[in-house]
Amino acid sequence: MHFMLNHVSISVRDFKTSVYFYTKTLTVIGIKPLFTIENEVVGFGIDRPTFWVGASDEAHPVSSNVHIAFSCATKSEVDLWHNAAIATGAKDNGKPGIRSQYHDKYYGAFVIDPNGNNIEAVCGND
């Protein structure tokens, strides 16, 4: 199978807080930390790292105004993800539900991550 993207990386302001947020939210949908360099970078994935969170520095400024959508297998996973995100203190940016403006099976939820990025969990996008 061929995928359009190999991986995505973001640079974050507060590495510890961001890694906590992504670990707590992604593990409930089967995505876990697979590679770590302490206080520098964490690679999350299912069978290989495909989503990277790195500490910002002069060469890697904080990623801002980014929208990332994580695929879920079921509506229940979207709900679990949203609940986990809110429990970390993330700001709700769209409760779980059908987004018929995209199509009639598009079920998603949105939060703002610790760096101000719009992060989504979605299923039914097939």
pLDDT at 4: 82
pLDDT in tens, 19-55: 999 999 999 999 999 999 999 999 999 999 999 999 9
Residue 80 φ/ψ, nearest 5 degrees: -60, -45
Ordered by start, the domain boundaries in the chain are: 8-123
End-to-end CA distance of the chain: 16
CA 27 vs. chain centroid, Å, equals: 10
The residue whose two tokens read 């961001």 is 18
Alpha carbon distances (Å) from 48 to 10, 74, 81, 84: 17, 22, 20, 23
Q: What is the pLDDT of residues 45-103, one digit of tens each?
A: 999 999 999 999 999 999 999 999 999 999 999 999 999 999 999 999 999 999 999 99
Q: Residue 126 pLDDT more than 60?
A: no
Residues 6+ apart with CB under 8 A from 6: 50
27: which DSSP letter? G
β-partners of residue 94 are 110
Global pTM reads 0.94
Tell me the pLDDT of the chain averaged across its residues: 95
For residue 3, what pLDDT band results from cuts at 50, 70 and 90? confident
CATH dotted code for 8-123:
3.10.180.10
Residues of the chain with pLDDT > 90, as a percent, come to: 92
Q: Is 19 helix (H, G, I), strand (E, B) or coil?
A: helix
Say yes or no to pLDDT of 125 above 70. Answer: no
